[in-house]
Chains A and B, each alone.
Chain A
Amino acid sequence: MIRFESVSKSYPDGTIAVGDLSLEVPDGQTTVFVGPSGCGKTTSLRMINRMIEPTGGRITVDDRDTASMDAATLRRSMGYVIQHAGLFPHRTIKANITTVPLLLGWDRRRAERRALELMEQVGLPEHLAGRYPAQLSGGQQQRVGVARALAADPPIMLMDEPFSAVDPIVREQLQDAFLMLQADLGKTIVFVTHDIDEAIKLGDQVAVLRVRGELAQLASPADLLAEPTDEFVADFVGKDRGYRTLGFRSASYPIATEPTVPVGATADLARVTAAGRWVLVIDDERRPLGWVDPDKVDQAVSIGSLHRGGTVASVTGTLREALDAALSSPTGRGVIVDESGALLGTVRAHEVVDAIAADAQRAP
């Protein structure tokens, strides 16, 4: 556990970066520091591994005051990932990843084995091991940055806006990879971002900071959305927080049977099966493929004639998924699948909304 006890950082010219910050970062979870620029989130992060020395208060890691430890040793026990990855341009990918293990005195063979293992874990093909950072895309470089931080298997990871310099599609891939890795590894992570959506997606708990590192609210993402403590947090969290809260709620709703046709069915079969204008097409394993309009089918239902606008919700998923499935479907009927991806049936938007209302009544 990392504990901030009345930590402050001021500079000789009188600037106060962090006024008086106290909070706890629990083991095995992701704590996100989020806030507008100049809120001291990066300063707070860097005080953990003493890249910046606090001018007041103290920071403890597992009840040890970090100020009493050797700074370099402390840093080697924490993985660190920054915005542009900060890879060493003069070292190959493999050599970048083995940096900390070699600093810790690992045997070279073991370090290199570990590097290859990590490359696989973060989704980098092995043939990149001998390349230099300049030969990789931004997203790949960031994966190397994560692998390098994980190399010596540190219990703590510090991540400073690691995904903000890549394009939105790559960012989402990296975030998903992050969540999968963290589910496996259970590191104690402090993650800094200015992006509230990223904070809500990745955090187990989110610390919203305002200027001078003042802690505006520390809460789980769901609580943050449902109950912002004040106007600052409410504004920062954003306007559609009611809808986004659904991303953390699940409840049961009625699922209606939906008539289906397989790929390759004739237009006539599709027409008689359809309840209304559209009919749902499934594959051999009953997985929904998309909706089809029988009038637009020439001979047989083909993959090419499918309407692909609708999203699919898992029955074990959130109310947000279910509502989105209904809203995005051309029929107004949202497609619901089981855990294996096989079709269960459909649900209408008003049924999901009713379930939301019923769930809210039950909530304390």
Chain B
Amino acid sequence: MDWFTAHVDEVWKLFVEHLYLSAVPLVIGLAIALPLGWLAKRYRIIGPPLIMGTGLLYTLPSLAVFILLPGILHTQILDPVNVIVAMTIYTIALLVRTVADGLRAVPEDVLLSATAMGYRPFSRLVKVELPLAVPVISAGLRVAAVSNVSIVSVAAIIGVQQLGSLFTDGFNRAFFAPIITGIVACVVLSLVLDLLIMGVTHVLTPWSRTRRPG
């Protein structure tokens, strides 16, 4: 505790950095996963390979990705862009299937009546299908958020500063205080992201909380 109070400013800086490195890829990843998920749901032939292919990205060892990306992107090894790109890949890996599942969960008769009302395909997607897919997509997003927080910490090994740096620091000095602080901070960060996603979902889906009385 003494260690923590002496390093509050430093921990806070790492916390914000960690938040940035996990949350920004979440947003970019979602933006990319939406059209990919739609494609996977829409076209029977490319659907399964697309979902399987993007899903496999998740099995790439994160350390290897962090080391290889600078060479591929021609960036500096310490450039946070590497981490952002890597985390975006992991987010996409988790979300393409979720988006496709969410869109598939929209009832057939709702789609049918939307078309019959005279919705063109794109506005049907935006105004009917996506809103109804929000609960499923949101569930996937929560998993991706927690996963991101955890994977980002690995980037400490290549020297990118965030909460994971507390682990390497503690390990190098055989000193537990920073490690425990880092773990607690990661849990808090996951909770913050989770609550944030739940809050946004809550606002977007007033309809899903209604039950027929009686």
Contact = CB atoms under 8 A, between A and B. Distances in A.
Indicate whether A and B interact.
yes
Interface stretch (A79-87, A114-122, A191-199): A79-87
Interface in A122-137: 131-132, 134-137
A90 B116 contact: no
B118 A72 contact: yes
Interface in B45-63: none
A76 B212 CA distance: 30
A19 to B, nearest CB: 24
Nearest to B204: A90
Interface in A43-99: 49, 51, 72-76, 80, 82-91, 99
B109 to A, nearest CB: 4
A72 B120 contact: yes
Nearest to B134: A90
Most buried by B among A51, A86, A87, A131: A86
A200 interface: no
B120 A131 contact: no
Given A82-B112, A86-B113, A88-B110, A73 B118 contact: yes
A80 B207 contact: no
B128 interface: yes
B131 to A, nearest CB: 5
Contacts of B114: 86, 88
Given A75-B116, A80-B116, A100-B118, A86 B109 contact: yes
A136 B211 CA distance: 9
Contacts of A72: 118-120
A134 B207 contact: yes
Contact of A51 (B116, B128, B206, B208): B116
A103 interface: yes
Q: How large is the interface on A (under 10, 10 to 19, 20 to 34, 35 or more residues)?
A: 20 to 34
B104 to A, nearest CB: 15
Interface centre among B113, B208, B213 (most CB of A within 10 A): B113
B6 interface: no
Contacts of A135: 210-213
Interface in B93-151: 107, 109-110, 112-120, 128, 131-132
A49 B212 contact: no
A51 B113 CA distance: 10
B75 interface: no
A64 B208 CA distance: 43
Given A80-B113, A88-B110, A89-B110, A103 B207 contact: no
Given A73-B118, A75-B118, A90-B207, A84 B213 contact: no
B118 A76 contact: yes
Interface string A140-156: 00000100100000000
Contacts of B119: 72, 103
A20 B183 CA distance: 72
Contacts of A91: 207
Contact of A83 (B109, B116, B117, B213): B109
B213 to A, nearest CB: 7
Contacts of B110: 86-89
Contact of B210 (A49, A87, A131, A148): A131
B112 A86 contact: yes
A100 B112 contact: no
Nearest to A77: B118
A289 to B, nearest CB: 34
Given A88-B110, A90-B132, A49 B207 contact: no
B76 interface: no
- Scoring B109, B131, B132, B205 by chain A CB atoms within 10 A of each residue's CB, the highest score goes to B109
A306 B119 CA distance: 57
A112 to B, nearest CB: 17
For A75, A84, A90, the residue with the greatest tally of chain B CB atoms inside 10 Å of its CB is A90
Contacts of B207: 89-91, 132, 134
Contacts of B131: 90
Contacts of A85: 109, 113
Interface of A: 49, 51, 72-76, 80, 82-91, 99-100, 103, 131-132, 134-137, 145, 148, 158
Instruction: Rank and list the top 7 A-B pairs by shortest CB-CB distance, nearest first.
Output: A86-B113, A76-B118, A80-B116, A86-B109, A75-B118, A90-B207, A132-B207
Given A72-B120, A88-B132, A90-B131, 12 more contacts: A74-B118, A76-B118, A82-B116, A83-B109, A84-B109, A86-B107, A90-B207, A103-B118, A132-B210, A134-B210, A135-B210, A135-B213
11 contacts: A51-B116, A72-B118, A74-B118, A76-B118, A82-B109, A85-B109, A86-B114, A89-B110, A89-B208, A134-B212, A158-B116
